[in-house]
Amino acid sequence: MTIDPSALLQQLFNAGAISQQSYGPESRYYGLPLLSGGAPGGAQVSYVSRRFIPPPSAFAPLQLYRVQQGDRVDVVAASQLGNPLSYWQICDANLAREPGDITAQPGAFVVIPLPAGVPGG
């Protein structure tokens, strides 16, 4: 008898034996439900539900940061927020479509927001 690993995994999810939340609290996908849908050929595929980006006014600014030549947004996040994985908060607060948009213009200022959930501003 052959066991289909994806079917077994889905059964464990459905039974509540395994948490479907695989993203940590630093992730932009944390707290979003995992959904399941049919793929061509009848296979079931799990995916993260859509994430809506809050408007910039929802972010309390911590400070403005002047972009330097050669900056990367993850390095900026590490130096300014203490965690390179927080780069997405900087992207969201500045309506950046791509992470590279944040550092594309040396000399420009970008908003460094307070971490999500911290009141202020």
Q: Which domains does the chain have, with CATH numbers?
A: 5-48 (no CATH), 56-113 (3.10.350.10)
Report which of 27, 28, 5 is spatially closest to residue 18, judged by C-alpha positions.
Answer: 5
pLDDT at 1: 67
pLDDT at 71: 97
Give the span between the Cα atoms of 20 and 17, in whole angstroms: 9
Does 92 have pLDDT greater than 90? yes
Segment 68-88 mean pLDDT: 95
pTM: 0.71
pLDDT at 120: 60
pLDDT at 5: 67
